[in-house]
Amino acid sequence: MTGQVLGELHGGASMDDNAGIRINVGGFKKRLQSDTLSRFPETRLARLLHCRSKESILELCDDYDDAEKEFYFDRNPALFPYVLNFYHTGRLHVMAELCIFSFSQEIEYWGINEFFIDSCCSSTYHCRKMDQDREDWDDKSDEGSTTSSFDELLEFYSDASKFDKQLLGSLRRRVWLMLDNPGYSVASRIISILSILVVLGSIATMCMNSMIEFSLMDSEGQPVEDPRFEIVEHFGIGWFTLELVARFAVAPDLLHFFEHPLNVIDLVSILPFYLTLLINLVVESSPALANLGRVAQVLRLMRIFRILKLARHSTGLRSLGATLRNSYKEVGLLLLYLAVGVSFFSVIAYTVEKEDNEDLTTIPACWWWATVSMTTVGYGDVVPVSIVGKLTASACILAGILVVVLPITLIFNKFSLFYKRQKQLEIAMRSCDFDEGIKEVPSVNLRNYYAHKVKSLMASLSNMSRSSPSEHSLTESIH
């Protein structure tokens, strides 16, 4: 295709796939081979290979010389050697004397993503660009604490490629994208909105059913559920069941379907209803098992877990879940600090208040007071009465502020990172087009192949912030 396109532009002359193009960057002239440029199809120079008219050429360069067959770019020639080195090595390097913002604008113009900055220059580059202190993400203990959007994209392409060898793969892939990617298409947005409304309606009916104004009694004076609420409940269960069955039917890997947390939430949201139905049938057939009815009442309360289904449609909730899942060290520090503080101040409060305060006569009772005080909740149900006790309470509250704030800052920073990456990941996934399928590339490592596919999404990820250690290792594996 490349040879045909260049042939049309150059007056019909036949050219092979190894033909090159001549470029002039502010007076710096160079001839580049087509196969070198085509390794990075989303870059500006590689896109020139697919131009079919002079108008399309001039959209990518500043001028084109028909006589010399030369593309002219009015850019800084001093920075172009870095771009040229990227096409030959697949990596970007940043010299210390360069202006970071000028370099950033230059690689953005050429369509090169910051992901390709080599690990030896990446930390310095991002620290200088952001002009503020950043955490050291190279710590070995934290390698598993942050997930890479790049790795998630590889997993996404890996799942999408599995449909090519399955029956009705193309159709199933479209349904899979529609159900698992809210916002991917108009149909997926409609399904997402309907699912949100059903979840909210189900939670609303559960809350209204607990209110006296909506309670009904049978002839024996026993509470019964409002038929209107039952209709809403059955419709919701039918919708949730249909969603789960449809996702399971079109899943790329059925054996690992329930390894995804969101699919487990879908199952938990409908399981109480069917267990309750089964228990009621058993109780009706065997009156001796009437105590199982209490179990059914508990299961009905588990319907509140349906609100977690909103995580499938909310970037914030998914980011919060990822943050908590990968912040166990920070959460552990928070609990440890609280445990030490509660134990310390509860003993002091017991010592100074046991004779004057009936509410603080035991150390376990003081634990409750210290926990409420250190977390700055302050119920006021138990308070010290002596001067020394009030001073102890003041120290407990001040210590609680420090204890809570320090780990939460680390957790908040992680949440900000996960949220930003999740947003960029969603944008990248929505830009995917699998209408032509995914062809297998012979003699290519599977990871490298999917990484090559992800390069086509680099334009959607151009605003991604600093890369993590996992991204550095991925960049190295690509090349």
Query: What gap in Å lies between CA 196 and CA 206, rounded to an integer?
Result: 16
DSSP letter, residue 26: T
Give the pLDDT score at 354.
Answer: 84
Helix (H, G, I), strand (E, B) or coil at 398: helix
356-375 pLDDT, tens digit per residue, is 888 888 888 889 999 999 88
Give the pLDDT score at 140.
Answer: 38
Query: What gap in Å lies between CA 311 and CA 252, rounded to an integer?
Result: 21
Give the pLDDT score at 330.
Answer: 82
How far, CA to CA in Å, does 442 sit from each of 118, 439, 448, 449? 28, 9, 12, 10
Rounded to the nearest 10°, the torsion over CA 269, 271, 273, 276 is: -140
53-75 pLDDT, tens digit per residue, is 888 888 889 888 888 888 999 88
Alpha helices (H) in 131-251, listed in sequence order: 149-161, 169-180, 186-209, 227-249
Give the pLDDT score at 295.
Answer: 66
Number of H helices, E strands in the chain: 19, 6
**Mean pLDDT across the stretch 280-290?**
65
Phi first, then psi, for residue 270 (nearest 5°) are: -105, -15
- State the residue for tokens 């009706």: 284
Residue 230 has pLDDT above 70, yes or no: yes
Residue 477 has pLDDT above 70, yes or no: no
400-440 pLDDT, tens digit per residue, is 888 888 777 778 888 887 788 777 777 766 666 555 444 44
Average pLDDT, the chain: 75
Contact 107, 125 (CB under 8 A): no
How far, CA to CA in Å, does 225 sit from each of 232, 233, 466? 12, 11, 54
Q: Indicate the pLDDT class of residue 153, thresholds 50, 70 and 90.
A: low
Phi first, then psi, for residue 184 (nearest 5°) are: -70, -35
Contact 118, 91 (CB under 8 A): yes
Give the pLDDT score at 452.
Answer: 45
Residue 181 has pLDDT above 70, yes or no: yes
CA atoms within 13 A on the CB side of 400: 20
Decide which of 132 and 180 is more confident. Answer: 180
Confidence (pTM)? 0.51
Contact 205, 229 (CB under 8 A): yes
Contact 148, 471 (CB under 8 A): yes
Q: Indicate the pLDDT class of residue 136, thresholds 50, 70 and 90.
A: very low
Q: Indicate the pLDDT class of residue 475, thresholds 50, 70 and 90.
A: very low
Structure tokens at 206: 């559960």
Burial of 381 (0-12, 13-18, 19+ CB in 10 A): exposed
Helix (H, G, I), strand (E, B) or coil at 33: strand
Q: Indicate the pLDDT class of residue 285, thresholds 50, 70 and 90.
A: low
- What residues does 33 pair with on adjacent strands? 20
Domains observed in the chain: 21-117 (3.30.710.10), 169-313 (1.20.120.350), 318-431 (1.10.287.70)
145-151-152 Cα angle (round to 5): 95
Query: What gap in Å lies between CA 477 and CA 479, rounded to an integer?
Result: 5
Mean pLDDT lowest for which of 28-32, 85-89, 309-313, 351-355?
Answer: 309-313
Rg of the chain over all Cα atoms, to the nearest angstrom: 31
Query: What gap in Å lies between CA 472 and CA 474, rounded to an integer?
Result: 5
Query: What gap in Å lies between CA 89 and CA 120, rounded to an integer?
Result: 14
Contact 385, 354 (CB under 8 A): no
**Mean pLDDT across the stretch 89-99?**
81
How far, CA to CA in Å, does 83 sit from each of 76, 287, 300? 11, 80, 62
- What residues does 64 pair with on adjacent strands? 71
DSSP letter, residue 379: -
Give the pLDDT score at 472.
Answer: 43
Q: Indicate the pLDDT class of residue 344, thresholds 50, 70 and 90.
A: very high
Mean pLDDT lowest for which of 134-143, 309-318, 331-340, 387-396?
Answer: 134-143
Alpha helices (H) in 30-148, listed in sequence order: 34-37, 44-48, 54-58, 80-89, 100-109, 119-130
Nearest to 212 by CA among 231, 226, 199: 226
Give the pLDDT score at 433.
Answer: 58
Give the pLDDT score at 469.
Answer: 40
Nearest to 296 by CA among 316, 282, 319, 276: 276
Query: What gap in Å lies between CA 415 and CA 325, rounded to an integer?
Result: 11
Give the pLDDT score at 391.
Answer: 92
Give the pLDDT score at 438.
Answer: 46
Nearest to 152 by CA among 440, 421, 456, 464: 421
10-51 pLDDT, tens digit per residue, is 444 333 445 678 899 988 888 888 888 888 888 888 888 888
